[in-house]
Amino acid sequence: MVSMTVELRNVEGTQAAMGWAGGHTIIVDRPEGKAGGMGLGFNGGQLLALAIGGCFCNDLRYVAEEMGARLGKIAVTVTLTLEGQPLLATTATMVVACETLDGSDPAQIIAGAGAISTVSNSLRRGVPVSIETNAERSFD
């Protein structure tokens, strides 16, 4: 089993949050004027779409390496559709283009990436999310 933990804290003087994992950080915020948002970073829906597409980009590289292929350009566009109240992601569509450096058809690499993609497969299978309260949590 592999486990990953990320941390998020509010950004002083704003209503945005900064998230980090290891040495990498990202700002999470709402659009300017929405619930105190200042448009300082990505919103949750954008982060979900980026997680889907970013994971797939990595998976393309994993599959290509396993097959002994080298990839050149990669282009992935993710469209996330949200509906309802509360707003829920109802569909995500990825359009993928990539090129192999030897000019071969990348279809097998794309299919392989789809088969192993952690984020897409987790969403398809309905990953459970639990919310726990820790009133004694440190804010350091």
pLDDT tens, 14-70? 999 999 999 999 999 999 999 999 999 999 999 999 999 999 999 999 999 999 999
pLDDT tens by residue, 57-87: 999 999 999 999 999 999 999 999 999 999 9
SS3 for 27?
strand
CATH class of 43-125: alpha beta
Predicted confidence (pLDDT) at residue 134 exceeds the cutoff of 90: no
pLDDT at 138 over 90: no
Q: Is residue 139 very low, low, confident or very high in pLDDT (cuts 50, 70, 90)?
A: low
Higher pLDDT, 6 or 139: 6
The region, left, alpha or beta by phi > 0 then psi within -120 to 50, assigned to residue 68 is: left
Give the pLDDT confidence score for residue 140 in this predicted structure.
64
The mean pLDDT value for 102-128 works out to: 97
Separation CA 70–CA 38 (nearest Å): 41
Q: Where are the domains of the chain?
A: 1-42, 43-125
Kindly state the helix (H) or strand (E) to which residue 20 belongs, with its residue range: strand 17-21
* Spatial separation of the C-alpha atoms in residues 86 and 76, rounded to whole Å: 28
Q: Dump the DSSP string for 33-98.
A: TSTT----SB-HHHHHHHHHHHHHHHHHHHHHHHHT--EEEEEEEEEEEEETTTTEEEEEEEEEEE
**Tokens 């497969």, residue located:** 121
What is the pLDDT of the chain when averaged over all its residues?
A: 95
What is the DSSP secondary structure assignment for residue 114, as one 8-state letter? H
Distance between CA atoms of residues 90 and 81, nearest Å: 6
Task: State the pLDDT at residue 135.
Answer: 72
